[in-house]
Amino acid sequence: MKAAVIVFPGSNCDRDMAVGLWASGADVTMVWHKEAALPTGVDLVAIPGGFSFGDYLRCGAIAAQSPVCKAVVAHVERGGYALGVCNGFQVLTETQLLPGALMRNAGLRFLCKTVTLKVATARSAFTQGYAAGAEISIPIAHHDGNYFVDAETLAALRAEDRIAFAYMDNQNGSVGDIAGVLSANRRVLGMMPHPERAVDTGHGGTDGKRLFAGMIRQFAAA
Amino acid sequence: MKARVQVMLKSGVLDPQGEAVKRVLGTLGFDGVRGVRQGKVIELDLDGDDRAKAEKDVTAMCEKLLANRVIESYNIEIA
């Protein structure tokens, strides 16, 4: 699998993301935000966590207008895969590749801890390595992870089985306890928790590993 | 000419920052504050003096960048 990790000024989980992908067997290229095109043959675009452009205006809003994001949108429109983690999730909502928006945490505090997630669906390349309903431990580290969609969109997400991960103990106020959400074609995943921070025993847990392994399997089979 | 854009969370979207400000106002002894909503103001300095064009352009800016229409509403004043 060929993966591209997008790097914005202020990205700070780009190398962790690259290591997570590389450790699972992906061929990883880092792509600077000013690039107008992705490397040829990219299967998966990964948008990492951080504080792109200092979170100015709204988290992810400036990054979503960058040249590389136009290429990411085109990649997704061609049926390509994309994973956005934390700030990457915010960027994916700002580009409207995923529905909803991420607002300030309901408790107003920056949350930095390992949380328990429920794998809400195994029906996606990203989550196929987990059993539906499985509980996994993944770190969160965010100030603006309070996911919001209107009631109608929430009902549609539920009906279409597009909620990938849900918080067992929702501390940021996200509607429907949503921690991660899939696009309609199930090829774009945005999530606030950091699977790339749970891929090595040195991290304190390896529950994120199966997400990357699932992606690798998807392209090995193709 | 100048444009002033006010961006607010839509009514119905919980504003935790506004709630926190309201709580603190209460502890400072300011009774009777029924609600606080916090938003932002963006001031633009624009070329030209065509009011209609400015209104149209700033509306496009709001839709494209300045506001996130999933959670925010905006109001434009041209002066």
Active site residue A13: no
- Which one, of A63, A56, A57, A62, lies nearest residue A14 by Cα? A63
The minimal CB distance from A104 to the residues B16, B66, B70 is found for B16
Residue ranges of domains in chain A = 2-221
The predicted structure's pLDDT at residue B12 = 86
Tell me the CATH number at B57: 3.30.1280.10
- Please write the tens of the pLDDT for every residue from A33-70: 999 999 999 999 999 999 999 999 999 999 999 999 99
Closest-CA residue in chain B for A174?
B14
Q: Does A65 touch chain B (CB under 8 A)?
A: yes
Test A173 with B65 for CB contact under 8 angstroms.
Answer: no
Test A99 with B70 for CB contact under 8 angstroms.
Answer: yes
Domain that holds residue B39: 2-78
Sign of the dihedral defined by the CA atoms of residues A201, A205, A208, A213, in that order: positive
Amino acid at A97: L
Cα-based distances in Å from A154 to A4, A49, A185, A214: 30, 24, 17, 26
β-bridge mates for residue A3, sequence order: A28, A44
- For B54, the enclosing helix (H) or strand (E) is helix B51-61
Rounded Cα gap, residues A180 and A153, in angstroms: 14
Test B71 with A101 for CB contact under 8 angstroms.
Answer: yes
- Which one, of A92, A87, A101, lies nearest residue A148 by Cα? A101
The minimal CB distance from A148 to the residues B13, B20, B65 is found for B13
- Please write the tens of the pLDDT for every residue from B7-46: 999 988 989 899 999 999 999 999 999 999 999 999 999 9
Test B68 with A99 for CB contact under 8 angstroms.
Answer: no
Q: Which residues of chain B are within 8 Å of residue A105 when distances are taken between CB atoms?
A: 16
Structure tokens at B58: 């700033």
In chain A, alpha helices (H): 14-23, 67-77, 87-94, 151-159, 209-221
**Averaged pLDDT, A106-134:** 97
Q: Does A190 touch chain B (CB under 8 A)?
A: no
Active site residue A86: yes
Count of structural domains within chain B: 1
Closest CA–CA distance from residue A106 to any residue of chain B (Å)? 5
Structure tokens at A131: 């059993």
Does CATH place domain A2-221 in 3.40.50.880? yes
ipTM: 0.87
- Please write the tens of the pLDDT for every residue from B57-67: 999 999 999 99
pLDDT at A222 over 80: no
β-bridge mates for residue B9, sequence order: B72
Which residues neighbour A152 within 8 Å (Cβ) at sequence distance 6 or greater? none
Closest CA–CA distance from residue B70 to any residue of chain A (Å)? 6
CB A118 within 8 A of CB A179: no
**Averaged pLDDT, A90-117:** 97
The minimal CB distance from B71 to the residues A103, A105, A106 is found for A103
pLDDT at A178 over 70: yes
CB-based burial of residue A99 (10 Å sphere; 0-12 exposed, 13-18 middle, 19+ buried)?
buried
